Amino acid sequence: MNQHPDTAGASRPVPASDAPTSIAARAMASLRPQGSPYLEGLNDEQRRAVEATDGPVLVLAGAGTGKTRVLTTRMAHLIATAKARPFDILSVTFTNKAAREMKHRIGALIGPAGEGMPWLGTFHSIGTKILRRHAELVGLRSDFTILGMDDQLRLMKQVIVDQNIDEKRWPARALASAIDGWKNRGLLPEQVPPGEAGAFAFGKGGALYTAYQARLLTLNAADFGDLLLLCLKLWRENPDVLENYQQRFRYILVDEYQDTNVAQYLWLRLLAQGHRNVACVGDDDQSIYGWRGAEVDNILRFEHDFPGATVVRLERNYRSTGHILAAASGLIAKNEGRLGKTLRTEDVPGEKVTVAGAWDSEEEARQLSEAIESLQAKQHPLSEIAVLVRISAQMREIEDRFVQLGLPYRVVGGPRFYERAEIRDALAYLRVTQNPSDDLAFERIFNTPKRGLGDATLQILHGYSRSQGVPLLQAARLLTETDELKPRARSGVRALVESFSRWARMVGTKPHSEVAQTILEESGYTEMWQKDKSADAAGRLENLKEFVRSMEEFPDMAAFLEHVSLVMEASEQEGADRVSLMTLHAAKGLEFDTVFLPGWEDGLFPNQRALDESGRAGLEEERRLAHVGLTRARKRAKLSFAVNRRIHGLWSSTVPSRFIDELPPGSVDVIDAPAHFSAGASRFDRNPTPFGSSYGTPGWQRAQAATANTGNFGSTPARNPANRGSGPRQIEGELIAKSTGAPSAFSVGMRVFHTKFGPGDVAAVDGNKLTVDFDKAGQKMVLDSFIQAA
């Protein structure tokens, strides 16, 4: 497996003279990559990053510089040069999506030899794999369950109540985030600094953490944090086990290193101490998950942690045109804590980044949609357009507008399939069937659908379960033999217990998806939703069907449950030409021809809360987020801000984001204002245009000054509603005209014409919003400004 003729992938004819070559040997050869064609097309830095195989390597890969390509090529290279076999390489990512993508690309690179790299996966999936092998060393059984967020919260609630703490004052959520934080930092209960452990519930934080961990062990369960934390514990307490893994992983590769938290860092460092061949790829300028424990420091400190490390910078960007890159680079240069990279492109300068102001968020949404429609008219595919917002609350107005216009869109990263209530319920039934001691799952569906079993019954079960030291289901079974339960409750409990016994017997005798189907029917769960007449019941039934269907892809129920607990993903159907709408966080790793970035206002972006909670570091992370947003765009980036926005139901006047002024003026075009400020429903068309042709000019300054002294509606003046209308300012007039729904020029029954939907009849009037029955397009809500009397 050592020598590879450097024939650069040319197909080798079978040499007729080479008689001894056995068929098997030829078949083996076909598995081997031929030459190193995979290195072709890499630029110098990329090639260096691939070929620096030994010792610690840090690859600083800016946005769009071919990071994944380097990572996958590096693996291919290791295998092709026989430095490592697929199972010698540990390769970690953060998301399942990234892991999948990488597997796929390696397969394409080196063919079947690369398939089934057993140690390519997320931190959590690999942690799970290791933990299952040595579970008993950390007090678990190898079939431990992995808890989702909701199970975690339910468990913490119990722990809090057990310790006689007022669950109202000290909500489970707060405890969860404290414990999560500790776990992210690799701290076991006894390692939490005393000062911090005392922070929760009058000094009980540490005790609660201890109690929570103990409960997890008795339930034979682990939460997400444990999947890494318990590996650390395992290795610290069992050096022989650690050494085994250190030897096993000859090469370690880490994707998105800037997102690692302390626990992950420690995890990697322990493993890397074997061969010291650790390559981390990341971009400090794209670290946007500090709030959930990621430590930019990990990447900033790499050279210190791994002395003699090779550092390779990938700065040649293959994604964006010149002005976009210049804008992104200029902005991120304002950050102080960074390793420093300068992105270059050989692409054309292209279009400048545009900045547009709007009167309020509604108008901003309108402008944005119009811009999308005009791109659409020029044959720009909608699937190449994205709208990236800072907070999900911004999505509503934009969606409303899209719906009004009939513009197809999809929200990326919404509620996840496996987190929906009906799916979790179904899952709970399966979990109890599979594992009768899964108390959390049992509790979840104990009275769902309603079987007349309430809190009182549950308390009795709990008490009995505890005193007898048996799981809830077992306790329930035993209790039906006694007369501790009232007759009605007893029959309910008995029916449930018997059902579970019956279902458990079915497992293995029938295909598991069929078992699931039966369980959902016999338990009355499906029926519950069929009877439900609320609007989303049909969707939920549909989800349940999809759920059962998706089980068929797995060999057995256990495999399915493992998949689900680790891979919380919605099955997404692709294909349709739609605009993508998502948060900036969700956009990391994606790219689009045209990107809209609304809501660039101080307070929203940079977000006030980030500023308050993390100060300078918070501001820098927000700036990185802005940088991520801009670098998603290949050809067009369109920023906008609104001068008025409703925050928590109150109108506030806002100031353009400080980030706008940090952009290099030469790469930015300010969109002239008149179009925006007079467009649509404004009744104040006479307003002087507050924005000049170029920001930084007096006109721009004036605009900022004007918005600044408008006063803040959200604070003092607005607190008293009576004051609201008394101000002399036009902004208030405008706002009130909108918020109170001033009389429209249209009335019900009127015949009207819409530029897009054609003729129709007004069905309802609500301020400037009309519901119109269009002759062709059906009933739609539209703004009166798009309507003429016909």
Partner DNA sequence: TATACTTCTATTTTT
Partner DNA sequence: TAGAAGTATA
Residues engaged in binding DNA (CB under 7 A): 94-97, 122-125, 149, 224, 291-292, 390-393, 413, 416, 447, 450-452, 454, 566-569, 582-583, 585-586, 607, 609-610, 613-614, 618, 622, 646, 648-649
DSSP secondary structure letter of residue 688: P
Choose, from 32, 47, 48, 68, the residue flagged as catalytic.
68
Structural contact between residues 765 and 744, judged by C-beta atoms closer than 8 angstroms: yes
In the complex, the smallest distance separating the C-beta of residue 533 from DNA, rounded to whole angstroms, is 9
In the complex, the smallest distance separating the C-beta of residue 618 from DNA, rounded to whole angstroms, is 6
Structural contact between residues 590 and 420, judged by C-beta atoms closer than 8 angstroms: no
In the complex, the smallest distance separating the C-beta of residue 224 from DNA, rounded to whole angstroms, is 4
Choose, from 151, 255, 295, 425, the residue flagged as catalytic.
255
Q: Which is nearer to DNA, 582 or 663 (CB)?
A: 582
Q: Is 67 annotated as catalytic?
A: yes
In the complex, the smallest distance separating the C-beta of residue 271 from DNA, rounded to whole angstroms, is 18
In the complex, the smallest distance separating the C-beta of residue 652 from DNA, rounded to whole angstroms, is 12
Cβ count within 10 A of residue 779: 12
Q: Closest by alpha carbon to 70, among 91, 94, 96, 95?
A: 91
Question: Which positions ≥6 away from 222 have C-beta within 8 Å?
Answer: 131, 140, 144, 145, 146, 147, 216, 230
Q: Is 378 annotated as catalytic?
A: no
Q: Is 233 annotated as catalytic?
A: no
Q: Which is nearer to DNA, 264 or 513 (CB)?
A: 264
In the complex, the smallest distance separating the C-beta of residue 623 from DNA, rounded to whole angstroms, is 12
Q: Which is nearer to DNA, 286 or 667 (CB)?
A: 286
Structural contact between residues 261 and 295, judged by C-beta atoms closer than 8 angstroms: yes
In the complex, the smallest distance separating the C-beta of residue 558 from DNA, rounded to whole angstroms, is 18
Give the 3-state secondary structure of residue 52.
Answer: coil
Residues 373, 377, 381, 384, CA torsion sign: negative
Q: Report cis status (omega within 30 of 0) of the bond before 37.
A: no
Choose, from 46, 65, 67, 185, the residue flagged as catalytic.
67
Choose, from 286, 367, 594, 654, the residue flagged as catalytic.
286
d(CA 423, CA 416): 10
Structural contact between residues 380 and 563, judged by C-beta atoms closer than 8 angstroms: no
Backbone region of residue 104 per phi and psi (left: phi > 0; alpha: psi in -120 to 50; beta: other values):
alpha
Q: Is 286 annotated as catalytic?
A: yes
Q: Which is nearer to DNA, 265 or 774 (CB)?
A: 265
d(CA 483, CA 105): 63
Structural contact between residues 500 and 432, judged by C-beta atoms closer than 8 angstroms: yes
d(CA 690, CA 359): 10
Choose, from 256, 351, 362, 363, the residue flagged as catalytic.
256
Q: Closest by alpha carbon to 758, among 772, 744, 748?
A: 772
CA distances to 345, 417, 691, 767 from 370, in Å: 30, 32, 20, 22
Active centre residues (catalytic): 67-68, 255-256, 286, 632
